[in-house]
């Protein structure tokens, strides 16, 4: 009896493991196919100044137009893209595609703005990253100062010579460097101070609790004060309400990004947002 039950349990787990592995394989091959067939699309979310909501820049955020499922959000495919290293060609595609779009906006006479692009740890590990970035900027005749790369604390905390070299090369090239999701990792201040970083992006999880959650509010104001001490600019992520904006503005935060101003939108909608302001 017990033995039979054990066998059944075993079979049950084997079957569900097989199912999970198959689902993963299917998704992986669909992702490869999607890359070859240009099923990805870049959306852009404005980053605006806290005081007057002027558009200072946009962040490039990738989506997948799956022929069966429609528009798929990055949370559902970036983790697997990272595991399978597909993020390296995908990330390069996003950078190229969004620089191409910047060229179009500049040619159309839109006011100058910056382009922020997320980097994954595997892109960051490439020895020739700065050369790749320089090549793309040259292809689209863009000044390096209009590009900002977003890194995460965990990428910086590897604390290896390679990472520091890459950061220095990118800084020498003249691109801006921002730390994304700031506050969720464990980077130390003393360490941050030695890195060529320009901006901190306060993670949405802290912004969510503002202004009612005392801890979140306290963390946000502390990050802002600390960033300014280090001569870094601060952007708040995920601002959804006027109350959050007011609190952050009073705390001296420089800029924000969030549904309050605009969700991420297709490239064509960005011009309309400029006309609105």
The residues that touch ligand C2E, with contacts defined as CB under 6 A, are 45, 61-62, 73-75, 78, 87, 91, 94, 118, 120, 150, 180-181, 204, 237-240, 257-259, 264
Residue from 180, 206, 227, 253 touching Mg ion (CB under 5 A): that is 180
Q: What is the spatial distance between Cα 166 and Cα 221, in angstroms, rounded to a whole number?
A: 31
Among the listed ranges 6-14, 137-145, 153-161, 177-185, the one in contact with Mg ion (CB under 5 A) is: 177-185
211 binds, among Mg ion, ligand C2E, none (CB under 5 to 8 A by kind): none
Write down the least CB distance from residue 91 to Mg ion, Å.
Answer: 12
Which residue's CB is nearer to ligand C2E, number 93 or number 140?
Answer: 93
Decide: 146 and 98 in contact? Cβ < 8 Å.
no
Which residue's CB is nearer to ligand C2E, number 61 or number 146?
Answer: 61
120 binds, among ligand C2E, Mg ion, none (CB under 5 to 8 A by kind): ligand C2E
Structure tokens at 118: 């997320």
Dump strand ranges (E) for the chain: 40-49, 55-66, 70-72, 114-118, 147-152, 176-182, 199-202, 233-237, 255-257, 265-266
Among the listed ranges 46-54, 67-75, 97-105, 117-125, the one in contact with Mg ion (CB under 5 A) is: 117-125
* Cβ atoms within 10 Å, residue 149: 22
Using DSSP's 3-state secondary structure scheme, residue 34 falls into helix
Which residue's CB is nearer to ligand C2E, number 118 or number 221?
Answer: 118
Cα end-to-end distance, the chain, whole Å: 73
């Amino acid at each position: 009896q017990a033995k039979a039950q054990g066998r059944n349990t075993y079979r049950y787990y084997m079957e569900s493991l097989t199912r999970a592995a198959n689902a993963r394989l299917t998704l992986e091959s669909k992702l490869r196919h999607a890359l070859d067939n240009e099923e990805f699309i870049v959306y852009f979310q404005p980053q605006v100044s806290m005081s007057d909501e002027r558009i200072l820049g946009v962040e490039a955020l990738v989506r997948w137009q799956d022929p069966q499922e429609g528009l798929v959000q990055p949370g559902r495919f970036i983790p697997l893209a990272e595991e399978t290293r597909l993020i390296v060609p995908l990330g390069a595609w996003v950078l190229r595609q969004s620089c191409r779009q910047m060229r179009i906006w500049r040619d159309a006479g839109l006011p100058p703005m910056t382009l922020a692009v997320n980097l994954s740890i595997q892109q960051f590990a490439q020895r020739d990253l700065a050369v790749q970035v320089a090549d793309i900027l040259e292809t689209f005749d863009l000044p390096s100062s209009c590009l900002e790369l977003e890194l995460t604390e965990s990428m910086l905390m590897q604390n290896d010579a390679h990472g520091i070299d890459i950061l220095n090369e990118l800084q020498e090239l003249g691109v801006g460097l921002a730390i994304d999701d700031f506050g969720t990792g464990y980077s130390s201040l003393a360490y941050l101070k030695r890195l060529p970083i320009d901006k901190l992006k306060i993670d949405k999880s802290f912004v969510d609790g503002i202004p009612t959650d005392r801890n979140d509010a306290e963390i946000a104001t502390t990050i802002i004060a600390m960033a300014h001490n280090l001569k870094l600019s601060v952007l708040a992520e995920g601002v959804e309400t006027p109350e959050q904006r007011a609190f952050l503005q009073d705390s001296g935060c420089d800029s924000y990004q969030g549904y309050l101003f605009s969700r991420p939108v297709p490239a064509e909608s960005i011009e309309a947002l400029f006309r609105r302001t």
